[in-house]
Amino acid sequence: MRHLAKLLLVLLALIPLAAPTAAPAQNLILQGATEPPGLDLTATPASATATVVFYNVQEALVKVDRHGKLVPWLAERWNTSDNKNYTFFLKRGVRFHNGREMKAADVKFVFDRAMNPETKHPAVKQYEVIGDIIVKDDYTITFALKSTNANFLWTMARQGSVIYPREAVETLKSEPIGTGPYKLGEWVRGDRIVLVKNGEYHVKGLPKIDRVTLRFIPDPNAALAALKAGDVDASMFGLGPEHIPDLQKDSRFQVIVGETTNDVIMSMNNAKKPFSDVRVRRAITHGINKPDVVKGAMFGLGRVLGTNVDPLNPYFVDMSGAMPYDPAKAKKLLAEAGYPNGFETVLKVAPQYYYTVRTGEVLADQLQKIGVKIKIEQIEWGQWLSRVWKDADYDLTIIGHAEAWDIANYANPKYYFRYDSAEFQKLFQESEVTVDDKARRELYLKMQKKLVEDAPVVWLYIHPRLAVTKKGLQGLWKDLPAGAGVMDLSEVSWAKQ
């Protein structure tokens, strides 16, 4: 009996050795500043929605990768013989989160719906170029364009072009379904969104994280405290540049400072005096010392800009030295324009975006030296959208334009810049239908030169990507070429300890 007991004890002791050891679940808790206004990428262009859904829950036929290159994604390849008819060959065996395989009919449904004005897709204009969509078989689909469009493939890669199953169209806003590496776990409104691993993801071996919790902590100091207390593993958006030097010295963390598409600009109302005079706009540009703005407002983090195209764009040209800081020249230009003693003007900023206020304060100080007295008026974001962005009821304003490929704004005289140049508009139209890369590059250079010359706005700096993570987290993008809010978590993992 005693022997039997001993034997049992030995067997019991062996059980843990014999049982297969399951890999510990890999979890990730992230801090984000802004809760999305709904999760439907076909209803809102908000970057907070893209942060959660784009690349993580839903994907498009084509993807902008971490280097800013267009790569085939849900389509394994495409071809076009005339730059008007694009045929996409879908990747086989890609399943939506509801288990059903993605077919060409789903793709057709998605784009038919986006093109229908009834859908109220925020980027409906981008799809107007599509004439017909022909499903050839379950995995082959052709888009016949009305005219050549150099941006078509980029349009297919945008967040509004994600593919979802047609049976889930009603729940896109609260429970989006897609083909992404993560499924939506739960959304506790006002608190967090949980993403769980999609075990049937179409890219083998990904994702490596089992559960991602995105906590919404709007206050930057609270976000910093959560990071330091170890309550979150990474702060993705929301820490300011003032937090970075301290965190760079802390051995527990790694700091990611990268490029984005978010160009921070000071717009001048081109339709309103005195900014309707190009000499005044040039004077303002010459009166601003951009490196000092970056030092004063951003702790030196952020690349000085000279024109609209951001450094992650393939057609970027560094024009930061084209209109250098030259207060004497600025004063001379102001005198020529009839303002020898300068003038008073109002700068409207929305404190929801911290950098707008700080940048405004530095600019007000600098421009005072050329006689331009700036009164800063802080308005709430909802008011900014109505008064400044929609009605152009402003003199000066500062905001970051986070969207990639946004040079089109300068070709739209109704946009809040109210910049109306027939020459620029012609160049832009030409660039839209020029598919040859070399010729298009040439046109982009001409457009940028024209913008520098006309100075419709002052391009100040690129708002840097500032993310801080615990040591050991790997696979995050350094730069954000697909849009400043995009957070691709598909390749993220914890380094083995």
Binding span for other proteins by CB under 8 A among 11-19, 143-151, 216-224, 471-479: 216-224
C-alpha atoms less than 13 angstroms from C-alpha of 174 in its C-beta half-sphere: 4
Cα 278 off chain centre by: 31
Site for other proteins in 353-382 (CB under 8 A): 380-382
Report how far apart the first and last C-alpha atoms of the chain are (Å, whole number).
Answer: 45
Which string of x and - marks every residue 226-265 that binds other proteins (by CB under 8 A)? x-xxxx----------------------------------
Minimum CB distance to other proteins smaller for 395 or for 403:
403
Q: What are phi and psi of 214, to 5 degrees?
A: -105, 110
Give dist(CA 482, CA 69) in Å, integer.
Answer: 9
Minimum CB distance to other proteins smaller for 192 or for 279:
192
Q: Are 71 and 65 in contact (CB under 8 A)?
A: yes
| Among 154, 51, 158, residue whose Cα is nearest residue 489 | 51
Minimum CB distance to other proteins smaller for 226 or for 234:
226
Binding span for other proteins by CB under 8 A among 64-72, 139-147, 267-275, 386-394: 386-394
Minimum CB distance to other proteins smaller for 3 or for 189:
189
> Cis omega (within 30 of 0) on the bond before 274?
yes
Phi-psi region of 472 (alpha: psi -120 to 50; beta: other; left: phi over 0): left
Give dist(CA 162, CA 110) in Å, integer.
Answer: 8
Site for other proteins in 157-176 (CB under 8 A): 173-174
Structure tokens at 489: 């978590």
Residue 45 is a binding residue for other proteins (CB under 8 A): yes
Minimum CB distance to other proteins smaller for 134 or for 381:
381
Tell me the pairing of strands 372-378 and 343-349: parallel
Minimum CB distance to other proteins smaller for 230 or for 291:
230
> What is the 8-class DSSP label of residue 386?
I
Q: What are phi and psi of 331, to 5 degrees?
A: -65, -40
Residue of 72, 122, 327, 475 interacting with other proteins (CB under 8 A) = 122
Minimum CB distance to other proteins smaller for 219 or for 344:
219
Residue of 2, 3, 189, 496 interacting with other proteins (CB under 8 A) = 189
Residue 215 is a binding residue for other proteins (CB under 8 A): yes
Q: Are 431 and 440 in contact (CB under 8 A)?
A: yes
Residue 383 is a binding residue for other proteins (CB under 8 A): yes
Residue 199 is a binding residue for other proteins (CB under 8 A): no
Residue 188 is a binding residue for other proteins (CB under 8 A): yes
| Stated length of the chain | 497
Give dist(CA 72, CA 81) in Å, integer.
Answer: 17
Residue of 137, 219, 423, 437 interacting with other proteins (CB under 8 A) = 219
> Cis omega (within 30 of 0) on the bond before 207?
yes
At its nearest, how many Å lie between other proteins and the CB of residue 228? 5
Binding span for other proteins by CB under 8 A among 119-127, 268-276, 365-373, 435-443: 119-127
C-alpha atoms less than 13 angstroms from C-alpha of 364 in its C-beta half-sphere: 20
One-letter amino acid of 211: R
Binding span for other proteins by CB under 8 A among 178-186, 200-208, 211-219, 322-330: 211-219
At its nearest, how many Å lie between other proteins and the CB of residue 451? 19
Structure tokens at 27: 């979890």
Q: Are 371 and 334 in contact (CB under 8 A)?
A: yes
Residue 123 is a binding residue for other proteins (CB under 8 A): yes
Residue of 83, 151, 352, 425 interacting with other proteins (CB under 8 A) = 352
Residue 390 is a binding residue for other proteins (CB under 8 A): yes
| Among 155, 166, 124, 161, residue whose Cα is nearest residue 50 | 161
Residue 395 is a binding residue for other proteins (CB under 8 A): no
Binding site for other proteins (CB under 8 A): 35, 37-38, 43-47, 117, 120-125, 173-174, 188-192, 215-219, 221-222, 225-226, 228-231, 352, 380-383, 385-387, 389-390, 399, 401-403, 414
